[in-house]
Every structure is written in structure tokens, then in C-alpha cells.
Amino acid sequence: MATITLKRTGQKVGFILYGLWKVTKSSTADTVYKAIQAGYRLLDGAGDYGNEKEAGEGVRRAIADGLVKREDIFITSKLWNTYHKREHVKQYAKFQLELWGIDYFDLFLIHFPISLKYVDKSERYPPEWYYDPVNQKVELQNTPYRETWEAMEELVDAGLVKNIGVRLVLVSNVASVLLRDVHTYARYEPQVLQIEHHPYLTQEPLVHYAKDVLGMAITAYTSLGPQSFVELNADKGAASLLTHGKISQIAQAHGRTTAQVLLRWATQRGIAVIPKTNNATRLVQNFAVNDFDLSEEEIKSISALNSGLRFNDPQEINPKLAIFA
């Protein structure tokens, strides 16, 4: 199986992660178990997803049944925006580990480059975006990114996480500046960059800088384009990539689904993907994408769909969060 080697630790990770965003909480344990049965060994979770306890139950059941050992599973989680202050980073990393029922995360990411006013877990967890959800009030907090990163490094020192990384939703030129800035003071350089990436948003300069210049591994969310945002009324009227004529034509030529073509378009270019599904058939299909190759012309034709269209845009929640402005 093709793998990506993480620069600092030398850990080898595959190109297909199972994503836990929007996985129904009541079925998360069963879905994670089935994903492991299907061959998935990388799980992408986050405190904000609200299903880490259930995901951990699925992992423990798979271990108890002899499907895997803990060291066979690469578990990613993320630090939410309300916990960016130094004194909160370790506290909430430990809390999330308790939810999962594990001793360490293989990868821990800063979820967004946005610091929000602290909300204690006794008041609400996950706290989500609003400090005051009744009045939909967002409150920013003046915590420098460096403070958060140095606290993340302390998690590595404590053995709570093996790798740390960033999840940037900035425009490419600003993201590159932030990445470069982190590298000037980091004791442990970020190993992974997670970005929105699909044919409508290829972010090629950022991908090149992070992957080829800095040697970071890249994982892509929203790999299927607007699909995950339809039910949130946030698809911006974009045509579905799953029924797009060009993608459908390529899929037919290879005897594959359009989702498989979209995922292979990324993995063939060295970018890991995080498909999410509650459907057992698609769960298996999404994992089987590295046993065929697209032609260079097919890759270029898919990349030509790029229009800079971004679906995950926090400023639509509140103008204070306009990190793309």
C-alpha cells in the first residue's frame, strides 16, 4: 500500500483516512468498526465533531475482536478554537484522549487559525463557534498563534501526541506566510497540513510550497466538493462533482464511481484524502481508489475545473471570522 512518510517521526501513513465529520453520533461506534473491517487504518476526528467518545468505542471493539492493535490505527484529532491559550491546550488534549479512551494521538492539529473566547466544558462541549449561542454572538480572543503552537509542542514532550500539524483555511499566499512563520520558531515543525482541496479549489501554489518545499504531508478535506455542504445550505449553488459530465466520463472509462475518480485525482498527486460516509457500500468503494491510475490528461482536465470556490468559510458565520478577506 502506498504511504506518506512523516518527516520528523518517520511514521508511515496511508492516503485514505476515514473522516468523522457529520458521522451520526448514535452510529459512530458501528461505523468506525465497519471502517476498520473494510481496511481503514487512519481515522480523522475532532473535538468539534462531538462523536469522539463513540469513535473510541468503535476502535476499542475492533481491538478487542482482534481486528487490529492500537499501534495499527493512526488517530487524528484537533484542538478547537476556544482552547488556544497555553493553559487550555494540554487540559483539553487530555480530555479528548479520555473521550477516545486512548493514551496518545498519532496526530493533533490546530483546527482553525482562529482564537475564540474560552468556554469551559462544564458549560458546553463541544462549544462550537458562538460564545453566546442564544444570541449567536462570536467573541474572539487575543491569543497569538505562537503561544498555541508552543503549547502543542509540549504535548509531544509529554507523550500525549506523536505528531502535530496545522489545518489552514487561509488563502494560499497568507497560508504560506503563516507556515513559514511557524517554521521560524518551532521546536517541532508541523508535520501535516490539512486543507480544503477539490477540483473547484486546487490551491496548487500552497500545495507545492507545503509539500515540495517544506516537506509536509498534506491531507485534503471536502474532497468530493459541495456534496457535504448541501444539507447545510452552504454548497453555494455549485454543480455536484459526483454528477459532473467530465468526471462521469472519466469514471465510465475506468469502470469506477465518480467519487473514486475524485479521490484518485488527489492521491495520485500525493495528497491524502478524508472521505466520509455512513453508507456501507460507499465505505468500501472509497477505500479502493489506489489500484488504478488516471492519465496525465485526465488529471489536467479535472484540475482545469478550478475556480477558487471555497465551501468552508467561517466569515459566513460571522464577519469577525473573515480569514479570507
Q: How confident is the model at residue 324 (pLDDT cuts 50, 70, 90)?
A: low
Least confident of 104-113, 227-236, 243-252: 227-236
pLDDT surpasses 70 at 272: yes
Neighbours of 282 (CB within 10 A): 15
- Bond from prior residue into 133 cis (ω within 30 degrees of 0): no
Q: What is the mean pLDDT of the chain?
A: 93
The verdict on whether 209 is a catalytic residue reads no
**Cα 118 from Cα 127, distance rounded (Å):** 9
Q: What pLDDT digit, counting tens, does each position of 73-118 carry?
A: 999 999 999 999 999 999 999 999 999 999 999 999 999 999 999 9
Instruction: State the pLDDT at residue 168.
Output: 75
- The pLDDT, as a whole number, for residue 146 is 97
Residue 36 C-alpha cell reads as 476498520
Q: 98 Cβ partners below 8 Å, 6+ apart? A: none
Q: Which pLDDT does position 169 carry in this prediction?
A: 58
pLDDT value at residue 1: 66
Q: Which tens digits make up the pLDDT trace of 165-185?
A: 999 755 556 677 889 999 999
Exposure string (b/e) for 205-230, b if CB count within 10 Å is 16 or more? ebbebbbeebebbbbbbbbbbbbbee
Exposed, middle or buried by CB within 10 Å (0-12, 13-18, 19+), for 255?
exposed
Q: Rounded to an integer, what distance in angstroms lies between the CA atom of residue 219 and that of residue 223? A: 10
pLDDT at 172: 57
List, in order, residues 6 or more apart from 10 with CB less than 8 Å away.
Answer: none
Among residues 13, 76, 86, the alpha carbon closest in space to that of 48 is found at 76
**pLDDT for the residue 276:** 85
Contact 23, 7 (CB under 8 A): no
> Is residue 9 a contact partner of residue 35, using CB atoms and an 8 Å limit?
no
Nearest to 211 by CA among 225, 197, 222, 224: 197
Q: Of residues 67 and 310, which shows the higher confidence score?
A: 67
User: E strands within the chain?
Assistant: 3-5, 12-14, 18-19, 42-44, 74-79, 105-110, 161-167, 192-196, 217-221, 272-273
Predicted TM-score (pTM) of this structure? 0.94
Q: How far apart are CA 260 and CA 51, in angstroms?
A: 26
Number of other residues whose CB lies within 10 A of the CB of residue 104: 17
Catalytic residue among 18, 33, 40, 49: 49
183-199, pLDDT tens digit by residue? 999 999 999 999 999 99
pLDDT value of position 316: 81
Q: What is the model's pLDDT at position 236? A: 85
Q: What is the pLDDT of residues 4-52, one digit of tens each?
A: 999 999 999 999 999 999 899 999 999 999 999 999 999 999 999 999 9
pLDDT tens for 294-304 read 999 999 999 99
pLDDT of residue 171: 56
Quick one: pLDDT band at residue 321, thresholds 50, 70, 90? Answer: confident
Cross-strand pairs, 167:
194
Banded pLDDT at 63 (limits 50, 70, 90):
very high
